[in-house]
Amino acid sequence: MRVERASSHPGLMFPKRREVRLEVRAYRGFIERLFAHYDWRCAACHKVTHLTCHHTIKRSRLCRDTFDNCIPLCLGMFGCHDAAERGAFLFTYNPMTERFTVARKV
Ligand SMILES: [Zn+2]
């Protein structure tokens, strides 16, 4: 793996945990592919709006930036991402379409 140096701190390596993540540029490319895969729509409400990447398993818990873990959800005060963080949705991954379907829990 290529090691990048922080320009403001020459010689300082990024912390080790970065190794579980994609590099920043690769991550941005992944996000674009993910959003395009869902036609730039929120996977829950299908609105074309500000999207963010929701990880069904948190990145902090060593999850991966992959289609089977990431889902585009809309941002905002009453957005689907907020609802997902509150556990309002049930996500089911379909390996055939490489997409999640979203159901609202009752
Ligand atoms: Zn939404």
Parse the chain into domains and list their residue ranges.
Answer: 18-104
CA of 66 to the centre of ligand 1 (A): 20
pTM exceeds 0.95: no
CA of 46 to the centre of ligand 1 (A): 6
- Do 84 and 90 touch, CB atoms closer than 8 A? no
Tokens of 13: 């390596």
CA of 72 to the centre of ligand 1 (A): 8
Question: Which pLDDT belongs to residue 44?
Answer: 96
Of 97, 28, 44, nearest to 67 by C-alpha is 97
Instruction: Please state whether 18 falls in left (phi above 0), alpha (psi between -120 and 50) or beta.
Output: alpha
Question: Which pLDDT belongs to residue 64?
Answer: 81
The C-alpha angle with vertex 52 and arms to 32 and 67, in degrees rounded to 5, equals 55
Positions of the chain with pLDDT lower than 50, given as ranges: 6-7
